[in-house]
């Protein structure tokens, strides 16, 4: 059995506003279901979308998960940075140093992300959403490889990366130690779903056997199961689809 990655989900104080920002950043379309849950639909063949859900909590500290956006030229990188700043982004310092070839920004709600230089060969075959960049251990990279059935495409010096076998979406990476401290629920998390003929509870048991745990974040009686990976990063196991 394996799971499908259905969405990268953001907690947002203004789901509609944040979705509009990311739609412009990725050149994707908005599927606005209601004001509390807004989805972005990829327009470039990417198999995973973004979802923004209402959460009034303030952002605390640097996110453990951020997105990397690719560019096709130095001009594209420059223009992308300026366009996103004009729509609410700002420069942030996460220790990247003055000579870093990528540009670190934060979206209107403070979520960090990177505009990657066009010479980055690791992401050269990816679409605009090049990577889901996670602060995490090698063991967690192995966990997600087994959970999703995605092969490891990088495993060196405590850093790992996986990508879907169809290579139609972003790479997911784990940067190795030291890990950022975690004092509250992550603002970004992954949503997974079993295949239509598989069992949600059987998949939950399989994930637990791989190192996941069930967690209570106050979700109440909901049809999804909230879990955490070996580095204590929350994710949601949805119903089959």
Asked if residue 175 lies in contact with residue 114, where contact means CB atoms within 8 angstroms, the answer is: no
Using one digit for the tens of pLDDT, what is the confidence trace for 74-118? Answer: 999 999 999 999 999 999 999 998 899 999 999 999 999 999 999
Question: Number of structural domains, the chain?
Answer: 1
Domain that holds residue 51: 3-174
From first to last of its 241 residues, what are the pLDDT tens digits of the chain? 679 999 999 999 999 999 999 999 999 999 976 779 999 999 998 989 999 999 999 999 999 999 999 999 999 999 999 999 999 999 999 999 889 999 999 999 999 999 999 999 999 999 999 999 999 999 999 999 999 999 999 999 999 999 999 877 899 999 999 999 988 999 999 999 999 999 999 999 999 999 999 999 999 999 999 999 999 999 999 999 9
Q: In this structure, is residue 217 part of a structural domain?
A: no
Q: In this structure, is residue 202 part of a structural domain?
A: no
Q: In this structure, is residue 214 part of a structural domain?
A: no
Q: What is the pLDDT of residue 1?
A: 62
Q: What tokens were used for 229?
A: 């990976």
Q: What tokens were used for 9?
A: 């989900």
Q: What are the angstrom distances between the C-alpha of 166 and each of 37, 75, 134, 206?
A: 28, 30, 21, 23
Q: For 188, what's the count of Cα atoms within 13 Å in the CB-facing half-sphere?
A: 22
Q: In this structure, is residue 233 part of a structural domain?
A: no
* CA-closest candidate to residue 217, choices 178, 171, 186: 186
Q: What is the pLDDT of residue 35?
A: 79
- pTM of the predicted model as reported, rounded to 2 decimal places: 0.95
* CA-closest candidate to residue 143, choices 112, 172, 178, 183: 172
Alpha carbon distance 47, 193 (integer Å): 13
Q: What is the pLDDT of residue 167?
A: 76
Q: In this structure, is residue 179 part of a structural domain?
A: no
Q: What is the pLDDT of residue 168?
A: 79
Alpha carbon distance 148, 164 (integer Å): 8
Q: What is the pLDDT of residue 240?
A: 94
Alpha carbon distance 178, 42 (integer Å): 33
53-80 burial code (b ≥16 CB/10 A, e <16): eeeeeebeebbbbbbbbbbeeeeebeeb
Q: In this structure, is residue 234 part of a structural domain?
A: no
CATH code for position 75:
3.10.180.10
* CA-closest candidate to residue 1, choices 240, 198, 225: 198
């Amino acid at each position: 059995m394996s799971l499908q990655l259905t969405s990268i989900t953001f907690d947002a104080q203004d789901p509609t506003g944040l979705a509009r920002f990311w739609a412009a950043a990725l050149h994707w379309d908005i599927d606005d279901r209601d004001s509390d849950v807004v989805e972005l639909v990829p327009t470039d063949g990417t198999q995973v979308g973004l979802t923004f859900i209402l959460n009034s909590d303030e952002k605390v500290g640097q996110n453990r998960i951020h997105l990397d956006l690719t560019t096709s030229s130095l001009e594209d990188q420059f223009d992308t940075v300026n366009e996103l700043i004009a729509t609410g982004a700002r420069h942030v310092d996460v220790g990247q140093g003055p000579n870093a070839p990528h540009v670190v920004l934060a979206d209107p709600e403070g979520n960090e992300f990177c505009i990657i230089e066009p010479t980055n060969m690791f992401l050269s075959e990816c679409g605009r959403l090049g990577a889901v960049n996670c602060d995490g251990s090698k063991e967690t990279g192995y966990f997600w490889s087994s959970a999703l059935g995605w092969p490891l495409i990088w495993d060196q010096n405590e850093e790992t990366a996986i990508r879907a076998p169809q290579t139609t979406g972003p790479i997911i990476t784990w940067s190795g130690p030291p890990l950022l401290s975690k004092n509250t629920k992550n603002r970004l998390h992954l949503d997974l779903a079993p295949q239509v003929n598989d069992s949600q509870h059987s998949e939950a048991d399989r994930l637990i056997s791989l190192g996941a745990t069930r967690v209570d974040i106050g979700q109440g009686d909901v049809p999804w199961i909230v879990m955490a990976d070996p580095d204590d990063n929350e994710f949601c196991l949805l119903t089959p689809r």
